[in-house]
Amino acid sequence: MSTLGTRRQVLAASLASGHVAMAMFEDTEGRRDPSIRYFTGHPGDALLFIAADGRSLLVPWDVNMATVMADIEDKVAYTDFKRSPFAAMTGALERLGIEAGSVIDLPSVTPYPMYVDYVEACPDYDFRCTEDGSTKFASSMRAVKDADELAVYRVVSAITDKAMDEIEAGLRSGRLATETDVALFIERFLREHGCEAAGFDTLAAGPSRSFGIHAFPACTAAAFATDGMSILDFGLSYKGYTSDVTMTFVRGPVAGKRAEMIGLVRQAHREAIAACRPGARSRDVAAIADAIFAAKGYTMPHALGHGVGLEAHEAPAVRNREDNDWVLAPGHVITIEPGLYDPLAGGVRLEDDVLITESGAEVLTHARIVELD
Amino acid sequence: MSTLGTRRQVLAASLASGHVAMAMFEDTEGRRDPSIRYFTGHPGDALLFIAADGRSLLVPWDVNMATVMADIEDKVAYTDFKRSPFAAMTGALERLGIEAGSVIDLPSVTPYPMYVDYVEACPDYDFRCTEDGSTKFASSMRAVKDADELAVYRVVSAITDKAMDEIEAGLRSGRLATETDVALFIERFLREHGCEAAGFDTLAAGPSRSFGIHAFPACTAAAFATDGMSILDFGLSYKGYTSDVTMTFVRGPVAGKRAEMIGLVRQAHREAIAACRPGARSRDVAAIADAIFAAKGYTMPHALGHGVGLEAHEAPAVRNREDNDWVLAPGHVITIEPGLYDPLAGGVRLEDDVLITESGAEVLTHARIVELD
């Protein structure tokens, strides 16, 4: 059986053990879920039904695309269901032979009104929509990267490191001078190196805009890496998996508040990574950075990090919040990205991707805070 | 009162007339809603609460950003609510003085499990989450562009036309040769012309990939506009509002199936636009294209079009489906984008943005199917 088929069997087994007859996954505009790519290879716009007996059905918007990309036995075009998710649900229940009265698991992000419509369309079934259903199970599967996925991460990390080296050289030489220069360099570089896209909108914020956590717009024609602090946050997507790194470029004297912020961010980055190992609670790792900042009167306005994979933000969570009960495990790939922001001094953030190993952690990427001049 | 303040008052009046005390809007990863930008100017990552008495509260992730961008009297940082939407809801009810027992409208995309959590967090209130609530009301407000918005559309349409002219020239001269060349040309061009970003990922699909409705990846290092049919689908975002056009470039003999497909797409584009006027049902407009294709044995695997605005896909719907009851009205800006796709012949699509006027329709952009050589 293919790797993807095996993944579907693992999900099916979880259904059987939970007395759920069928799970639905949905990947559509407004409700993206790369779990369908994870389970089938189909890259987007589809419904996927997996039954507890291991059979499954893909309902793609684009059946030509599915013929090329999807590794799954049974496919029916969404147009055959008149592009209605409720008609597709009805059809899947019949095609997969799901008995009346069975429990059907819906994606946890199913809007409340759609939940009501599924129940009305298929009144003989018992629909469940919870935070603890198949969406979460698939997310937990995806959080632990297997050998194939780790091989992809070695490649994309190396390409990302090379991009960072070339960007630093381009900024030092003056060949790259604006936010747009840097962002477009990345767009061309990634395709020349076999990546499929940026993992998310490249954020290139020059000194006048770096105080924003996520500057808006993501990049402009303005100067980059001129006097002050400039933030570059980008990721490259290779075979669907994205890297996620942030460099800060500082030009001019590093003193006063700016020096303090840079020092604290470097310290938080170093000490948080040192605490990454199997069995550590990711909340405790995040608390290390918060404590370093709090001791000097600073607050970080975002989480310390997050898992990366087919999504730029996925499990496990890496934040210091009561509802975060994730324990780091081998195969997790997370970002560590402490940052501080000040309307006058500007912003500084340093972000790398970290793989949790059997014995500790391996830093996959090599971002840095670069002092120019 | 500012334009944005007036928009909030219109929404507040709809609440009062529906006996709803407060509506919530949410713009966050996974549930983007530019209605918050529409009502406040704040471009992303926030909660917005609007009370029937006209008062409102913005809860931004990035309070520095809100200070610069948001035009609203009352703001509280999301961190003050420990980044919990349920804590923010509790705080907003108190701050806006909403009486116990009142009806609270939630976004229609609120996941079923979150709905349950709001009810648990605020048991004294009557939460509603329906397809006909404030999300839809805001969407309907946004569907009819006001004078300020139409002025933006005149600008972004002109910039888009200029981009199309330059792309055609670049492909004819050979200066642009790959999918990446075209996509990166657009990225640089738009920023040099004051746009903030692409409205969506530019889709540049050369002859080997144009059979896909939305080729994957969106663009690669492969050749573009070589022998066969190549599709270029892009939009430019100016002050948040996006254009959306598609050109097809054909190189080599136009004969046989390819000639038939091109002819049908041009006919569908022309006849559908001719049917656009106030009072026309958008479903009937879409049916014109479907009928033209069906008469020759073709099926279009997507809707004829959609509204554009702060989102690339917004109201009104322009599709031939039973649940589409939109009637075109002055101020609607929609796309008309007939397309046909064949695994061997390739794909052809032609898309323009069309403004519904008092007396008919005005085609804002000027895309075309370009025959090269």
Mutate to test the interface with B, among A112, A130, A132 (most CBs of B within 10 A): A112
Measured between beta carbons, the chain B residues lying within 8 angstroms of A192 are: 221
Residues of chain A with CATH 3.90.230.10: 144-372
Interface touch B82/A216, C-beta < 8 Å: no
Question: Taking the complete model, does pTM exceed 0.90, yes or no?
Answer: no
Say if CB A270 and CB A304 are below 8 A apart: no
Residue of B nearest to A186 (CA): B184
Say if CB B179 and CB B204 are below 8 A apart: yes
Angle in degrees, 0-180, between the axes of helices B85-95 and B112-121, rounded to the nearest 10: 50
Measured between beta carbons, the chain B residues lying within 8 angstroms of A213 are: 61-62, 65
Say if CB A130 and CB A18 are below 8 A apart: no
Interface touch B191/A216, C-beta < 8 Å: no
Of A109, A187, A341, the CB nearest to B187: A187
Token couple for A227: 């006097």
**Residue A2 CB neighbour total at 10 angstroms:** 11
Interface touch A65/B183, C-beta < 8 Å: no
Q: Which helix (H) or strand (E) element contains residue B189?
A: helix B179-192
In this structure, CATH architecture of domain B144-372: Alpha-Beta Complex (3.90)
Of A216-225, B34-43, B53-62, B363-372, the one with minimum mean pLDDT is: A216-225
B30 pLDDT higher than 90: no
Say if CB A365 and CB A160 are below 8 A apart: yes
Interface touch A106/B112, C-beta < 8 Å: yes
Residues of chain B with CATH 3.40.350.10: 3-142
The per-residue pLDDT string of chain A (373 residues; one tens digit each, 9 = 90 and over) reads 688 999 999 999 999 999 999 999 999 988 999 999 999 999 989 999 999 999 999 999 999 889 989 999 899 999 999 889 999 999 999 999 999 999 999 999 999 999 999 999 999 999 999 999 999 999 999 999 999 999 999 999 999 999 999 999 999 999 999 999 999 999 999 999 999 999 999 999 999 999 887 778 888 889 999 999 999 999 999 999 999 999 999 999 999 999 999 999 999 999 999 999 999 999 999 999 999 999 999 999 999 999 999 999 999 999 999 889 999 999 999 999 999 999 899 999 999 999 999 999 999 999 999 999 8
Give the number of beta-carbon pairs within 8 Å between A and B. 130
Q: How far is CA A311 from CA A227, A289, B18, in A?
A: 34, 24, 40
Measured between beta carbons, the chain B residues lying within 8 angstroms of A184 are: 184, 187-188
Interface touch A131/B112, C-beta < 8 Å: no
**Domain covering A3-142 in this structure, CATH number:** 3.40.350.10
